């Protein structure tokens, strides 16, 4: 199974369960028995299956991305903060993108558009000079 894209149905066949059970075992493990979950995880390892995050995020209507506004990317003070943020976000299946708020032509309203267009699920502002207008979920 190494020359083709591994699909959830391939995992289901190896585990001897339905595709719905594979999906539940991966996304809501508390809904399946320990034995079933173990069989699915073994099949995932055997097949090399990887969750398609883009498809998952599309179904959930989420981007899986958090944007951070940093006032000076060249400042080493922010490197540890960004590293910690990225580490914690990755535990939740989220990615971090970083925007330098001091770049030429940057406008805070651009970040709200990022949220409105569902290109980011959240915004972390570490630049105290920026006042971000109140954003509401849309």
Query: Which residue in the block uniquely carries the two structure tokens 């309203």?
Result: 109
Mean pLDDT for the chain overall: 80
pLDDT at 71 over 90: no
Same-domain pairing of 73 and 47: no
Same-domain pairing of 67 and 41: no
C-alpha 2/C-alpha 11 separation (Å) is 13
The whole-number average pLDDT for the span 117-122 is 76
Instruction: Yes or no: say if 134 and 75 are a contact pair by the CB < 8 Å rule.
Output: no
36: in domain:
yes
Start-to-end C-alpha separation, the chain:
42
Beta-strand (E) ranges in the chain?
A: 65-70, 95-100, 122-125
The whole-number average pLDDT for the span 63-92 is 87
- Domain span at residue 105 reads 60-125
CATH number at residue 106: 3.40.50.2300
pTM for this model (two decimals) = 0.52
Same-domain pairing of 64 and 121: yes
pLDDT at 13 over 90: yes
pLDDT of residue 107: 75
Task: Please tell me the total count of domains within the chain.
Answer: 2
C-alpha 107/C-alpha 20 separation (Å) is 45
Same-domain pairing of 66 and 112: yes
pLDDT of residue 50: 82
CATH number at residue 15: 1.10.260
Instruction: Yes or no: say if 40 and 15 are a contact pair by the CB < 8 Å rule.
Output: yes
Between 131 and 125, residue with greater pLDDT: 125
């Amino acid at each position: 199974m190494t020359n083709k894209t591994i699909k959830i149905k391939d995992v289901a066949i190896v585990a001897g369960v339905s595709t719905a059970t594979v999906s539940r075992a991966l996304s809501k493990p508390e809904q399946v028995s320990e034995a079933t979950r173990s069989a699915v995880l073994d099949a995932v390892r055997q097949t090399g299956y990887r969750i398609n995050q883009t498809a998952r995020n599309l179904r959930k209507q989420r981007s899986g991305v958090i944007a951070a506004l940093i006032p000076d990317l060249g400042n080493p003070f922010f490197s540890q903060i960004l590293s910690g943020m990225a580490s914690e976000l990755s535990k939740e299946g989220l990615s971090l993108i970083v925007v330098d708020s001091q770049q030429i032509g940057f406008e805070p309203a651009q970040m709200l558009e990022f949220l409105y267009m569902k290109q980011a699920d959240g915004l972390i502002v570490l630049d105290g000079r920026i006042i971000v207008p109140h954003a509401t979920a849309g």
